[in-house]
Amino acid sequence: MLDNPTWSALTTEQSHLALRHEDAARFPPAVTTLAGARDEAALDALARALSPGEIVGVFAAGSLVRPRLLVEIDGAPLVQMVHELPAPEPASDVEILGASDVPAMLALAERTRPGPFGPRTVELGTFLGVRDVGGRLVAMAGQRLRLPGTIEISAVCTDPAHAGRGLAARLITEQLARIHGAGASAFLHVRADNARAIALYERLGFRTRRRFRYLVLRRADQA
């Protein structure tokens, strides 16, 4: 299922959020721009379901034959990592974020660019944060894709002014404790060129499982 994570999530644990189009599905845009399909051929159904100019993000394995209606506007190589160590001890001094924190979460995401993040992304799972002494949100880590028996850690980001303090490690450790406590395992995706983040994840017990290319696709204005 991890070879096609978005489709797997939208047809199992997160089917209640799915906007289904034949053998393709996506999340509501305000939740996240992620979309998936049963196979490459089903991307035609996804393309037909989008309005002109609408944008989605997909995980692609190797080269992708895109439907004519979908235009690639951005992309990046990704590493998928899975956690294989025992559950860590819970971290301290982190808080659960909720709907009232969305403006601060959006502002932090805007400053740090951790990936697709919208006003309803918090609905995907538990989000944890750390604040500075003035109460400003300076780091967070959340849960995104949920598959049977495994949950993705995502939106890991720290305000640059607070980098180097171990905040990301603290938040990931707490997420791991919560995910393991729920009887699930954890996985994540990280840009292949983010050596610093990959090194951190390896120290925390993650190993590389496979590679993807993340593609940002826009529906063409006309066929």
pLDDT band at 62 (very low <50, low <70, confident <90, very high): confident
> Which tokens hold the place of 205?
């017990």
- Find, among 179, 187, 176, the residue nearest to 2 by Cα: 187
Residue that the structure tokens 């609905």 belong to: 123
Max Cα–Cα distance, the chain, nearest Å: 54
pLDDT grade, residue 222 (50/70/90)?
A: low
Do the Cβ atoms of 71 and 217 come closer than 8 Å? Answer: yes
- For the segment 42-59, what is each residue's pLDDT rounded down to a tens digit? 999 999 999 999 999 999
Contacts of 163 (CB under 8 A, 6+ apart): none
In sign, the C-alpha dihedral spanning 80, 129, 125, 113 is negative
Residue 212, phi then psi, degrees to nearest 5:
-130, 170
What do you get for the CA distance between the two ends of the chain, in Å?
32
pLDDT in tens, 120-151: 999 999 999 999 999 999 999 999 999 999 99
pLDDT bracket for residue 223 (50, 70, 90):
low
pLDDT at 92: 76
Euclidean distance between CA atoms 22 and 27, whole angstroms: 14
Cβ-Cβ contacts under 8 Å for 90 (sequence gap 6 or more): 173, 174, 177, 178
Q: Which two tokens stand for residue 29?
A: 């845009």
DSSP 62: S
CATH code of the domain made up of 81-210:
3.40.630.30
Q: How many CB atoms lie within 10 A of CB 87?
A: 16
Q: Where are the chain's structural domains? A: 5-77+212-219, 81-210
Can you tell me whether residue 73 is helix, strand or coil?
A: strand
pLDDT of residue 90: 79
Q: Which CATH architecture has domain 5-77+212-219?
A: 3-Layer(aba) Sandwich (3.40)
Q: Which of 141, 202, 150 is nearest to 179 (CA)?
A: 150
3 state DSSP class of 85: coil
Same topology, domains 5-77+212-219 and 81-210? Answer is: yes
* Sign, Cα dihedral of 7, 10, 11, 13: positive
